[in-house]
Amino acid sequence: MLLYKNSVLKKSALKPYLLLKIFNMAKSSFEYVKNFELDDTLLPNSWIVIRLDGKCFHKFSEDHNFSKPNDLRALQLMNYAAFTVLKEFNDILFAFGQSDEYSFIFKKHTTLYKRRAAKLLTTINSKFSTSYVYYWKKFFDCEVLKYPPTFDGRTVLYPSDENLMDYMKWRQADVHINNLYNTTFWNLVLKGNLSPVQAEKRLCGTVSSDKNEILFQEFNINYNNEPEIFKRGTLLIRKQIEIDDTSRSVVVAVHDDMLKEKFWKKHSSYLSSKNFKQYLKYEGPITDIIKDQLSCVKS
Ligand SMILES: Nc1nc2c(ncn2[C@@H]2O[C@H](COP(=O)(O)OP(=O)(O)OP(=O)(O)O)[C@@H](O)[C@H]2O)c(=O)[nH]1
Ligand SMILES: [Mg+2]
């Protein structure tokens, strides 16, 4: 293009094939820069996990009046944004979310984008982040989105099934630890009239049973009865569903206890088979996310 714009060439009566030759020479002399691009193909035969996390969400949640310690709208928006990702990328086996983070676990032998790390991470992050903004109003009807949120992301490879299971357990244990602390902390502050500093001091050195006791004795709260989504986070997983005598695979949101071996025994087929045959049957309620997928199929 630059060559063509050159006034001498424009005015000259060069034949088109000569112009093309000059153009191609220029192209190949520049093209070497492509070699600077690094190969970031991820190892085969290993689990690819992408984890996204909201940047400065302690501030973002304040600025958007999230309820403390848990805002159901915020969690549902996170789930919906992640669901949008799973809907588009069939190679994601399941995803797990809590607070301002979401992990996406790819099928072990995925060849999506030839397993190129940057392409996978940036595409998933972009789809998730734009969906978070795009669907904001669906969940926060009275709260205006004041500025665009940012999510960081990382890609981690896990070589064994055990590593992957431990990863999922780690993230879910994190929900439990944080939620028990936050629930007790905010009850002490909001209902117990302690300042945040006093509440922090009160909880310093306490173990789980102490916090359960504070909640029960002082605020009449049985922690076990708190909503599962708060205590365990959300697992988005593909399951089979029977509709009108036909079986369809859909993404469902569940709050199963992944710290229990029972969960992994039941879901062992998700991890083991190379040529995945069939997802487990879903037996829960027909949620909005499921309705969304069924109406999509019909239209
Ligand atoms: N009130 C409220 N705050 C939330 C909720 N979910 C997430 N947050 C906030 O988001 C933070 C998420 O933790 P982090 O990711 O460690 O903190 P961060 O401020 O995002 O910091 P970076 O991730 O390092 O940028 C929590 O500490 C809360 O402040 C919610 O449902 N309600
Ligand atoms: Mg964060």
- pLDDT tens per residue, range 164-204: 999 999 999 999 999 999 999 999 999 999 999 999 999 99
- Among 52, 57, 186, which residue has the most ligand 1 atoms within 8 Å of its CB, making it the best to mutate? 57
Alpha-carbon distance of 191 to 237, in angstroms, equals 37
pTM greater than 0.85 (yes/no): yes
Q: Which of 17-21, 34-38, 131-135, 143-147 has the lowest mean pLDDT?
A: 17-21
Q: Is 100 in the pocket of ligand 1 (CB under 6 A)?
A: yes
Q: Is 68 in the pocket of ligand 1 (CB under 6 A)?
A: yes
Q: Is 58 in the pocket of ligand 1 (CB under 6 A)?
A: yes
Tell me the CA distances in angstroms from 244 to 241, 295, 298, 299, one per residue in order: 10, 13, 12, 16
Helix, strand or coil, per DSSP, at residue 165: helix
Region 118-133: mean pLDDT is: 98
The single residue listed with the structure tokens 């009850």 is 187
| Strands 151-158, 47-54: pairing kind | antiparallel
The DSSP secondary structure of 142-161, one letter per residue, reads: SS---S---EEEEEEEE-SH
Q: Is 74 in the pocket of ligand 1 (CB under 6 A)?
A: yes
- Percentage of the chain modeled with pLDDT above 90: 81
Q: Which atom of ligand 1 is nearest to the CA of 53?
A: 23
Binned at pLDDT 50, 70 and 90, residue 5 comes out as very low
DSSP 114: G
Extended beta strands in 61-174, E state = 92-98, 101-106, 151-158
Q: Is the pLDDT of residue 249 over 60?
A: yes
Region 68-93: mean pLDDT is: 97
Tell me the CA distances in angstroms from 112 to 44, 167, 223, one per residue in order: 12, 22, 42
Supply the pLDDT for residue 244: 80
The residue type of 184 is T
Q: Is the pLDDT of residue 3 over 80?
A: no
